[in-house]
Structure 1
Amino acid sequence: MSLSLHRAYESDLRSYRLSFSRGGAWTGIALVLLGIGLDYSLYPAHLLEFTLARVLCSLGILAIIGLMRTPWGARNVEAMSFTWLMLPQVMIAWMIAVTEGASSIYYAGLNLGVFASAIAFAFRMWQNLTLGLLTYLLYAAACWVHDGHAPGGGAFAVNSLLLAFSAIASAVCTYFNEQARFNLFQLKAELADKNAQLEENNRSLAEIKGQMLQQEKMAALGTLAAGLLHEVNNPVNFCMMAIDIAMEEPAAKSNEVLHECLTDAKSGMQRVQYIVSDLKTFAYRKSGTDHESAQFLFERALESSVRLVGHEIKGIKVNRHLQPDTLVRGDEAAIIGVLINLLSNAALAMRKGATREPSIDIYAESRGERLKVTVRDNGPGITPENIGRVFEPFFTTREVGQGLGLGLSICYSVIQRHGGVLAAESTPGEWTKFTFDLPRVTGGEK
């Protein structure tokens, strides 16, 4: 038995012993008092003194029950149980001494106490043997007091053998009961471990499933982006060239409204180019590339993210607080995905909470060899019961069909893969803040 398992077993067994000892003590009081009927039938001449003895014995057991309700008594439940079991044995031995000695039928009560300790209580084998030995010594002392000399032969020998048989049988029962209790506890402990492992496996499977779903979406977006880049770039480049030629025409230069329209059209075409390029960066990856060791500007990743969620954050003020050097090492596409998730979640929460003057503040500052990033919104916040669950796979507060609850759990894994931790803080009704850090590229690595 390992030390930790032994301690756990003893802790679990203590409450079991306490419960059974209390129940047995109340049963003992009932049996002791019911024995008044035996006294009346067998020894009416001793009825008064035997009744007084039984009442005193019952009060002693009752006092021990009270002690077992205290922290000290609960810690010493084995000693308490042994003590109250010995009280009836002492009382019966005294009754044997003042009545018929070895011939007294009350020796059967001593056997009952020994058997009860083995059947009803979680004693150890040595404790049960000790109880049997003390019971026999009490019986021998009672017979000696009654006879006035050392007892021997006849009824004493027979009763002594019966007491020995009871003690041995009880000790054997106690041993196997102890083994059965421990085996049951061991099985419970193993089952608890298996359940814990199963829960951990389920969590891992859920995370893997979420990552696979995300990878499938990324692959689909990559295919879409590659197709868009091929199909859109040619007409966009043609439009850009046509706009440039048109802007050089004298009519366009002399007409302020026409020139402004052509400038807006060119700006729109450039935006289309940026969006397609950003989508390709976010979703399309070359196989065999070590993405976590690549270098990129966090500022550039942020701009790409803001452009990709432009339709979701429309009307929301985005404030950037960035240090001059934001060169970091990692998977740019994955970090863009993290930022998109944080920005879109913030926008959705603020729209759902009808936040007045909604805004998102993004900070990036050096902390040694790491770049700490903070995304803070002034939305409705996250409730205390949900703040600790936001990174759990499949946990979502959105309505059914509006989200799988995988976004933040995948973001957590992405940041963890970069050697950082994604953390959430919130004050309900005021703000929500997500922080994470990325490895900076130092001067010697550039």
Structure 2
Amino acid sequence: MSTSQLQSGYQTELADFRVTFSRGGAYTAIVLVLLGVGLDYAQYPEWLTPFAAARFVVSLLIGGIVLMLNGDSGRRLAPWLTLSWLLLPQIMISWMIWQTDGVLSPYYMGLTLAIFASGIALPFGLWQNLVFGVLSCFFYLLACVFHPGGIASIGTMTVNLLLLLFAAAASAVYTFFNERVRFMLFRLKAEVSAKNTELEVINQRLLDIKGQLLQQEKMAAIGTLAAGLLHEVNNPVNFCLMAIEVAMEEPVAKTEAGIQECLVDARQGMQRIQHIVSDLKTFAYRKPGADAEVGTPFLFEKALDSAVRLVGHELRGVAVTRELPDDTLVLGDEAAIIGVLINLLSNAVLAMRKAGTPKPAIHVSVKWVDERLHVNVRDNGPGIADEHLARVFEPFFTTRDVGQGLGLGLSISYAVIERHGGLLFAESELGSWAAFSFDLSRAT
């Protein structure tokens, strides 16, 4: 944070601080002024009624100034409004000194108390405090000079004035150092806040890295499984296909429609197993560093077919429709895009099943816009709440039950599309639908 920004922030906080303390100090002054009736009764009972009236009027005036502290203008003028209500008791005390014993009046101590309080307790500026101290001395001097009995003791008045000036000087020093301490505390708070912000950024990056490592470990495990499936499943599947083809050529099979139909179904089942294993290989059995290879041409239509097949067990009972252009050749990492599609399809199915959506359906619409293929995956499920919509791409954010997911899928999918130069974003109407859209570059 620059020095100018620090000063600007400090002045803003100081303004609020001054208003709060001025209001609290004013309430304290009202209480003390009113409690002073006890002093009047003990020292000058003959003046009890006029002094009580003066105290009541001063309290009302201080209360009026407190009301002026509200609003922007009051916040801006807080130091001078504070000076104004502080001077009201000083004027009252000086009047009481003039009415009673002048230089010998014990009310002189009230002036000193207010001067010390202004420097120690109130967030005054240096100049406001000096002005307050000098005016307090001036009011005391006027009360003594114009007292009906004259100045009883020049020496006593001189000593009292000097003590008031000393109090004003000490109060000004307190104000100066209090101001420096407040600024140092604000600077330390600003530095701690900046460090906390940096730590939050670092923690977010660590979460992203952790999510990516978890995903890589998962992909490595699936890749190993896919490699094993290729070796262990392909040979018996090929053997079965050969046996089915031989059986279909037998005269009995050709003449019996039921046997022929069964053999056709068996062949299609074996071929589906081949497709699934091949899709699994494409999706997960990737070389190290493949994440960065986003310039390989592939047909998006085939990637979508692979994703639908790989989550076929989840899509049972869900109507999946698609709207595709004739040409879907794009540039990118086919396996990563299959992963994104699997995540979007799985999330849609889970949300619809959890909400008990009648006639669940997913529609995938694809179109070319300015040499980029725009993909939209939309379901007719419960939608996404507004407070969740802005957070769906945060790492580890999930609305699933504990143990049902880590909240990494959409975060990683977002990074994948971003790596392809596109943008993955969500739209929703709560209670009606949710849609996720992204775009890919055309293969030239």
Question: TM (normalized to structure 1)?
Answer: 0.91
Distance, in Å, in 1 between the alignment partners of 2:18 and 2:338 is 60
What's the CA shift for 1:374?
0.7
| Matching residue of 1:326 | 328
2:397 counterpart (391, 395, 411): 395
AA paired with 1:298?
A: F
Structural mapping, 1:7-22, within 5 Å = 7-22=8-23
Q: Judge conservation of contact 1:291–1:332 (CA < 8 Å) in 2.
A: no
| Matching residue of 2:137 | 136
What's the CA shift for 1:262?
2.4
What's the CA shift for 1:303?
0.7
Structural mapping, 1:161-240, within 5 Å = 161-240=162-241
1:369 counterpart (368, 371, 374): 371
Distance, in Å, in 1 between the alignment partners of 2:318 and 2:179 is 69
| Matching residue of 2:410 | 408
Distance, in Å, in 2 between the alignment partners of 1:106 and 1:332 is 90
AA paired with 1:363?
A: S
| Matching residue of 1:435 | 437
Q: Judge conservation of contact 1:144–1:151 (CA < 8 Å) in 2.
A: no
Structural mapping, 1:38-437, within 5 Å = 38-44=39-45, 46-146=47-147, 154-289=155-290, 290-437=292-439
What's the CA shift for 1:44?
4.8
What's the CA shift for 1:212?
1.0
Q: Judge conservation of contact 2:80–2:128 (CA < 8 Å) in 1.
A: no
Distance, in Å, in 2 between the alignment partners of 1:432 and 1:294 is 30
Q: Judge conservation of contact 1:140–1:151 (CA < 8 Å) in 2.
A: no
What's the CA shift for 1:117?
0.6
Report the RMSD for the aligned CA atoms in angstroms: 2.5
What's the CA shift for 1:288?
4.1
Q: Judge conservation of contact 1:318–1:359 (CA < 8 Å) in 2.
A: yes
AA paired with 1:25?
A: A
Distance, in Å, in 2 between the alignment partners of 1:79 and 1:99 is 30
Q: Deviations over 1:124-170 (max 9, x none)?
A: 22221121122222233333333899999512321222112111111
Number of equivalenced pairs: 442
AA paired with 2:18?
A: R
Query: Identity percentage over the alignment?
Result: 59
CA separation of 1:417 and 1:45: change in aligned 2, threshold 3 A: same
Q: Judge conservation of contact 1:370–1:438 (CA < 8 Å) in 2.
A: yes
CA separation of 1:82 and 1:151: change in aligned 2, threshold 3 A: farther
Question: TM (normalized to structure 2)?
Answer: 0.91
Distance, in Å, in 1 between the alignment partners of 2:388 and 2:413 is 17
Distance, in Å, in 1 between the alignment partners of 2:42 and 2:251 is 135
What's the CA shift for 1:48?
4.2
CA separation of 1:37 and 1:317: change in aligned 2, threshold 3 A: closer
AA paired with 1:32?
A: V
CA separation of 1:48 and 1:369: change in aligned 2, threshold 3 A: same
What's the CA shift for 1:118?
1.1
SS in 1 for 2:294: helix
What's the CA shift for 1:344?
1.3
AA paired with 1:267?
A: Q
What's the CA shift for 1:361?
0.1
SS in 1 for 2:147: helix
SS in 2 for 1:292: coil
Distance, in Å, in 2 between the alignment partners of 1:20 and 1:392 is 42
CA separation of 1:305 and 1:88: change in aligned 2, threshold 3 A: same
Q: Which runs of 5+ in 2 are unaligned?
A: none
SS in 1 for 2:146: helix
SS in 2 for 1:398: coil
